[in-house]
């Protein structure tokens, strides 16, 4: 199936002046939302200012526009899962990743142990912690440091600049990640990891602790949206096939147990993280990133969801939207 040529036509974003106006409107539209709470799961993240809020759109042509706190740094957290998955899809291939990690929604929380046990130790998809660690275990490299270098360099290529580790967040997570260590040990007991589970958790914790801002994240989303080509650097970061796989998984699993609601209401592949970031990628058009630390009970930014929904409708991004053709014979 992969060898068949495909015709791809996804349309374009509106005129850029309209895009900028819609971003400003989305910002104002969501600014008065104060629902949700900053995460307390990771001590270093619990200190975030709950009123921070930024939105950025990056077009596949390289144009970007943002409103609010677009330059404020925050850690990638679970959003890193999407981009490491894309890198691994290129490195080891579609079939290996499909077999080892899976693509189906668990219907459970992102750190569920029950989901592993109910599926004979098989991670269900790469956007929950079990699947993400199984993905990180497939990263090329003979040592943990080599694997970490691959991840850091790869995610930096997605962003178009060197990303650095937030040492405070990393240390905070490393002292509170007992559940992830338990999940990794469980995967090992089912022969789902071929490398040291403690080392896998450490690399995974570091990838979650990389610092980005909303501008970076929008560019990363636009890279996925443009067949793996970074719109700022012009570099082919991953092949289009890896983007295809990643966007498909994001569409069904990107917002944890609320993924169905996200796809139904917003209709764009997306991924959230507990630091308050959300990235969405509209194939052929561009990426949207939002940052706001107030989260719902599933760990998704409340303002981010509202702003992305507004932009999806305004910019015509919903993958499932259609209208009657003027020459339809059924009229």
Neighbours of 324 (CB within 10 A): 8
Distance in angstroms (rounded) separating the CA atoms of residues 242 and 246: 6
Which residues lie below 8 Å from residue 171, measured CB to CB, with a gap of 6+?
A: 44
CATH code of the domain in which 67 resides: 3.40.710.10
The answer, yes or no, to whether residue 108 has pLDDT greater than 80, is no
Assess if residue 73 is contained within a domain.
Answer: yes
Do 83 and 166 lie in one domain? The reply is: yes
pLDDT of residue 31: 95
Assess if residue 28 is contained within a domain.
Answer: yes
Question: Which listed residue (30, 195, 204, 212) is catalytic?
Answer: 204
Do 133 and 69 lie in one domain? The reply is: no
Please state which of the ranges 23-37, 46-60, 183-197 shows the lowest mean pLDDT.
Answer: 183-197
Percentage of residues of the chain with pLDDT beyond 90:
72
Arithmetic mean of pLDDT, 273-296: 97
Do 72 and 219 lie in one domain? The reply is: yes
Do 105 and 131 lie in one domain? The reply is: yes
Assess if residue 325 is contained within a domain.
Answer: no
Assess if residue 329 is contained within a domain.
Answer: no
Do 221 and 100 lie in one domain? The reply is: no
The answer, yes or no, to whether residue 124 has pLDDT greater than 80, is no
Assess if residue 149 is contained within a domain.
Answer: yes
Residue count of the chain, please give it: 331
Do 120 and 45 lie in one domain? The reply is: no
Assess if residue 292 is contained within a domain.
Answer: yes
Active site residue 78: yes
How does residue 121 score in pLDDT terms, banded at 50, 70 and 90? very low
Tens digits of per-residue pLDDT, 296-308?
Answer: 999 999 999 999 9
pLDDT of residue 6: 61
How does residue 100 score in pLDDT terms, banded at 50, 70 and 90? confident
Question: Which listed residue (30, 249, 256, 279) is catalytic?
Answer: 256
pLDDT of residue 327: 66
Report whether 172 contacts 209 (CB < 8 A): no
Active site residue 279: no
Tens digits of per-residue pLDDT, 156-165?
Answer: 999 999 999 9
pLDDT of residue 109: 47
Do 152 and 264 lie in one domain? The reply is: no
pLDDT of residue 243: 97
Distance in angstroms (rounded) separating the CA atoms of residues 93 and 75: 28
pLDDT of residue 112: 44
Question: Which listed residue (30, 75, 78, 209) is catalytic?
Answer: 78
pLDDT of residue 127: 85
Do 100 and 146 lie in one domain? The reply is: yes
Assess if residue 24 is contained within a domain.
Answer: yes
Question: Which listed residue (84, 169, 274, 279) is catalytic?
Answer: 274
Tens digits of per-residue pLDDT, 306-318?
Answer: 999 999 999 999 9
Please state which of the ranges 90-104, 142-156, 275-289 shows the lowest mean pLDDT.
Answer: 90-104
Tally of domains in the chain: 2
Active site residue 190: no
Report whether 40 contacts 284 (CB < 8 A): no
Report whether 203 contacts 148 (CB < 8 A): yes
Mean pLDDT of the chain: 90
Active site residue 147: no
Report if pTM > 0.85.
Answer: yes
Angle between helices 240-253 and 94-101 (to 10 degrees): 20
Do 177 and 107 lie in one domain? The reply is: yes
Do 145 and 82 lie in one domain? The reply is: yes
Identify the domain containing residue 255 by its residue range. 16-77+212-231+240-315
Do 201 and 98 lie in one domain? The reply is: yes
pLDDT of residue 9: 63
Distance in angstroms (rounded) separating the CA atoms of residues 14 and 58: 13
Do 139 and 176 lie in one domain? The reply is: yes
Active site residue 81: yes
Assess if residue 330 is contained within a domain.
Answer: no
Selected residue with higher pLDDT from 102 and 243: 243
């Amino acid at each position: 199936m992969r060898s068949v040529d495909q015709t791809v036509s996804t349309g374009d974003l509106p005129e850029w002046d309209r895009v900028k106006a819609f971003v400003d409107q989305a910002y104002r539209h969501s600014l008065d939302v104060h629902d949700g709470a900053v995460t307390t799961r990771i001590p270093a993240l619990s200190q975030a200012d709950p009123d921070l809020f930024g939105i950025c759109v990056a077009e596949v042509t390289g144009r970007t526009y943002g409103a609010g706190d677009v330059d404020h740094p925050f850690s990638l957290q679970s959003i890193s899962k999407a981009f490491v998955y894309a890198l691994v899809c290129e490195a080891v291939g579609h079939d290996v990743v499909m077999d080892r990690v899976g693509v189906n929604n668990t219907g459970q929380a992102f750190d569920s142990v029950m989901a592993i046990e109910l599926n004979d130790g098989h991670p269900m998809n790469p956007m929950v912690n079990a699947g993400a660690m199984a993905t990180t275990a497939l990263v090329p490299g003979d040592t943990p440091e080599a694997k970490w270098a691959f991840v850091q360099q790869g995610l930096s290529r997605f962003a178009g600049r060197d990303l650095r580790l937030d040492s405070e967040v990393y240390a905070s997570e490393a002292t509170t990640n007992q559940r992830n260590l338990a999940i990794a040990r469980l995967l090992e007991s089912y022969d789902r990891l071929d490398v040291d589970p403690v080392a896998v958790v450490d690399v995974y914790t570091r990838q979650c602790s990389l610092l980005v801002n909303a501008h970076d994240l929008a560019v990363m989303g636009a890279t996925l949206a443009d067949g793996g080509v970074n719109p700022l650097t012009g570099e082919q970061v991953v092949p289009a096939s890896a983007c295809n796989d990643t966007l498909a998984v994001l569409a069904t699993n990107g917002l944890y147990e609320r993924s169905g609601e996200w796809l139904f209401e917003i209709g764009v592949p997306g991924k959230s993280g507990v630091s308050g970031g959300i990235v969405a990628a509209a194939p052929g058009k561009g990426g949207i990133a939002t940052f706001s630390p107030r989260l719902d009970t599933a760990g998704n930014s409340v303002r981010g969801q509202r702003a992305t929904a507004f932009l999806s409708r305004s910019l015509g991004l919903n993958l499932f939207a259609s209208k009657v053709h003027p020459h339809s014979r059924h009229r």
